[in-house]
Amino acid sequence: MLNKLESLLAKTDIMLSLKQKQQLVAYVDMLNKWNKAYNLTSVRDPEQMLVRHIMDSIVVNPFLHGTRFIDVGTGPGLPGIPLAIVRPDSHFTLLDSLGKRVRFLRQVQHELGLGNIDPVQSRVEEFIPEPPFDGVISRAFASLQDMLSWCCHLPKPAEGRFYALKGVLPENELTQLPSGITLDTVVSLQVPELDGERHLVVLKSN
């Protein structure tokens, strides 16, 4: 698994320490083990998890600004845990409403010694950020409109950003952004060995 991860990383500009690579592989091992009982992801093959979960998450890292982030609807910790591993000087709140997922996240935190994550069980609209975040990250929301509606209270006013990880660019959603929200940038992401498009949509509040 470590060799597979290194071969994927070799196709990118991402430089990681041996410890970081070992933590990413250990996370996949835990995800694979817990998945059998908890059904945390539809991806069953650990090598595919490296591509579709690990690489798909960490390619976003260069485009994040700030040090305090919240991953809303994190599920089994995606993209929050891989990003926390490759970005150890930043802090990630991992928010999910399902107890079994949060239990898994706490076990990952314990086994991998991740001091820069905070797993929280809560519905996003009920979670009170203190203080607000530099960035709100989501990989799971159905639409940008839902993300903005439910998460509008989470980022810092003015300088906070919304980071939406998408497949095909949702151009019709971008034409229907609510007032007070503007498009900051769109990044076409390159994920080695992944079929299909990947985009990062970055939004800001005026």
| Beta-bridge partners for 135 | 69, 161
Q: Give binding residues for S-adenosyl-L-methionine as ranges.
A: 73, 78, 124-125, 139
pLDDT band for position 194 (50/70/90)?
very high
pLDDT of amino acid 34: 97
The stretch 41-63 carries a mean pLDDT of 97
Dump pLDDT digits (tens) for 114-146: 999 999 999 999 999 999 999 999 998 889 999
Cα 157 from Cα 71, distance rounded (Å): 18
Q: Give binding residues as ranges.
A: 73, 78, 124-125, 139
What is residue 138's three-state secondary structure? strand
DSSP for 10-38 reads: TTSS----HHHHHHHHHHHHHHHHHHHHH
pTM score above 0.95 = yes
Instruction: Choose which CATH entry (3.30.2130.10, 3.40.50.920, 3.90.1150.10, 3.40.50.150) describes domain 1-205.
Output: 3.40.50.150
